[in-house]
Amino acid sequence: MISNKINNRLTNSSMIRAMFEEGAKLKKLYGADKVYDFSLGNPDPEPPAEVKAALRELATSEELGMHLYMNNAGFPEVRETIANKINRETGLQLSFNNVVMTVGAGGALNVVLKTLLDPDEEVIIFAPYFVEYSSYIDNHGGKTVIVNTDAKTFLPDPELLRTKITPATKAILINTPNNPTGVVYGEDILKAIAKVLEEKSKEYGHTIYIISDEPYRKLAYDVEVPNILTIYRNAIMIDCFSKSLSLPGERMGYIATNPEADDIETLMNGLIYCNRVLGYVNAPALFQKIIAKSIDASVDINIYKERRDLLYNGLTSFGYECVKPDGAFYLFPKALIADDVEFKNRALKYNLLIVPGSGFGGPGHFRLAYCVSLETIKNSLPAFEALAKEFK
Ligand SMILES: Cc1ncc(COP(=O)(O)O)c(C=O)c1O
């Protein structure tokens, strides 16, 4: 028998699996083009031309040793390319020593949490949150503390945060642009959070870190995503190429730190050690090199922006309430009844696959991932309208 803990987790995560199966059944019954599947955050635009060109070039390269183990932190020249890019954008002075290449953002989060946490130390997350956070924190013996965001804006309240910090708080984990709400945290709010953490770190006599999970950093529409490393010295930034280059299956990400962070050498040694002993060993070699060659590339974010506008404008015109997302590729509208699981079932009757907000710590809402074609969104709008009419 497997562990009780994992068995319980399996039971709790069966909803998304059940939805996946339901979707497959509906597609078989009605045809894939008649089912509007907004359930998965799997980016559908192809990777940019630069990525494909680099892949072709490296596939025929005679360079020796390209596929061997390297330093657990990754190839120094790749890390330097990333450090230089951050320096150009921020004016900071990172060196390759401040960058660790990782197996996606998911790998990076596990590396950071393993490095930081002693048993029962607390990590604060803001609801609604990315579903895996509490599992990742639990992986490394930590305790998740959930703090709600403002019900109207999904922005955190720094003063509410202050009341949740205890002597056991080791870090807060933020995610901007946010999955599932699409909200981007502005500089003011990040500075206010940083101030609270500086004060609390002083009060308790130990560093409280900000772990900033930023897979959607490049997918921001009309707003700047501030760089957390410029705002808080003890921030640990996590970025990946899963969304910005449409490469989630290639598992590439990185961790970056501020050279002025407390005890930086030990922190970096810890991160590199944990990357190794978690069994990642190092990030995939070939794709590290591809990333370095396409460092300034990005998928065309106008593709996502156009979809956001179509879906947001459509839904709000039918009476759905929704915070207009500034980034990522999610919408998190209010369900039209309090029971979001029942609402998901009612949507299914119109072949709409949506995810209940409860799984993200946002009950009474639902998540739409607009990683689907403009055509699918257009065709889905009458179904959303008919669904809304049921509740008028
Ligand atoms: C907020 C957030 N963090 C982390 C991840 C994991 O990213 P990766 O596929 O790079 O591991 C995702 C993926 O959807 C995400 O939405």
Number of structural domains in the chain:
2
Ligand 1 centre and the CA of 343: distance in Å? 26
Residue 110 C-alpha to ligand 1 middle, in angstroms? 12
Would 54 be classed as within a structural domain?
A: no
What is the residue-wise DSSP string for 114-149? HHHPPTT-EEEEEES--TTHHHHHHHTT-EEEEEEP
- Low-confidence stretches of the chain (pLDDT < 70) are 14-17
Distance, CA of 114 to CA of 92 (rounded, Å) = 26
Domain containing 118 equals 64-293
Q: What share of residues in the chain are helix, strand, coil (percent, to 5)? A: 45, 15, 40
CATH code for the domain in which residue 157 is found: 3.40.640.10
Atom of ligand 1 nearest to the CA of 248: 9
pLDDT of 242: 97
Contacts of 344 (CB under 8 A, 6+ apart): 19, 354, 355, 356, 366
Contact 11, 327 (CB under 8 A): no
Distance 215 CA to ligand 1 centre (A): 6
- Cβ–Cβ < 8 Å for 44, 329: no
In sequence order, which residues have a C-beta less than 8 Å from that of residue 200 and are 6 or more positions away? 162, 165, 169, 208
Q: Tell which of 293, 327, 353 closes a domain.
A: 293
Question: Which pLDDT does position 116 carry in this prediction?
Answer: 98
Is 55 domain-assigned? no
Residue 112 CA, ligand 1 centroid: distance in Å: 14
Rounded to whole angstroms, the Cα distance separating 25 from 36 reads: 13
Instruction: Tell me if 217 is assigned to some domain.
Output: yes
pLDDT of residue 18: 73
Distance in Å, CA 216 to ligand 1 centroid? 9
Q: Is 178 in the pocket of ligand 1 (CB under 6 A)?
A: no
Same domain? 232 vs 247:
yes
Q: Nearest Cα to 101, choosing from 278, 207, 240, 258?
A: 240
198: which 2 tokens? 């500086």
* CA distances (Å), origin 211, targets 161, 163, 208, 239, 361: 15, 19, 10, 11, 19
Per-residue pLDDT tens for 219-259? 999 899 999 999 999 999 999 999 999 999 999 999 999 99
Give the pLDDT confidence of 53-70 residue by residue, as tens digits: 999 999 999 999 999 999
Count of C-beta atoms within a 10 Å radius of residue 67: 10
Same domain membership, residue 338 and residue 261: no
Does residue 177 have its Cβ closer than 6 Å to ligand 1? Answer: no
| Residue 104 CB less than 6 A away from ligand 1 | yes
Is 220 in the same domain as 81? Answer: yes
Distance linking the first and last C-alpha atoms of the chain: 49
Mutation test residue for ligand 1: of 42, 110, 112, 240, the one with most atoms within 8 Å of CB: 240
Cα–ligand 1 centroid distance for 41 (angstroms): 9
Per residue in 183-196, pLDDT (tens digit) is: 999 999 999 999 99
Is residue 191 domain-shared with residue 278, that is, in the same domain?
yes
Residues 37, 122 share a domain: no
Q: 269-303: string of b/e by CB count within 10 Å (b at 16+)?
A: ebbbebbbebebebbbbbbbbbbbbbeebebebeb
User: How close is the Cα of 217 to the center of ligand 1, in Å?
Assistant: 12
**H and E: helices and strands count for the chain:** 14, 12
Q: Which of 293, 320, 336 is the last residue of a domain?
A: 293
Closest listed residue to residue 354, CA positions, set 325, 389, 327, 320: 320
**281 and 345 share one domain:** no
d(CA 221, CA 233): 27
Residue 214 near ligand 1, beta carbon < 6 Å: no
Q: Pocket of ligand 1, candidates 132, 278, 360: which has the most ligand atoms within 8 Å of its Cβ, to mutate?
A: 132
Q: Is the overall model pTM greater than 0.85, yes or no? A: yes
Question: Best of 212, 243, 246, 304 to mutate for ligand 1, by most ligand atoms within 8 A of CB?
Answer: 243
Instruction: Evaluate the CA torsion angle 58, 59, 63, 68 in order and state its sign.
Output: positive
Residue 207 within a domain:
yes
246 Cβ below 6 A of ligand 1: no
Q: Where are the alpha helices (DSSP H) in 205-263?
A: 228-231
The CATH number of the domain holding residue 326 is 3.90.1150.10
| Cα of 104 from ligand 1 centre, angstroms | 7
- Ligand 1 pocket check for 105: Cβ under 6 Å: yes
Last residue of a domain, one of 234, 258, 293: 293
* Ligand 1 and 242: CB distance under 6 A: yes
How far, in Å, is the centroid of ligand 1 from the Cα of 118? 24
In a domain, 109, yes or no: yes
- Structure tokens, 230: 């410029």
Q: Specify whether 285 is located in the same domain as 308.
A: no
**Same structural domain, 75 and 185:** yes
H helical segments located in 318-368: 340-348
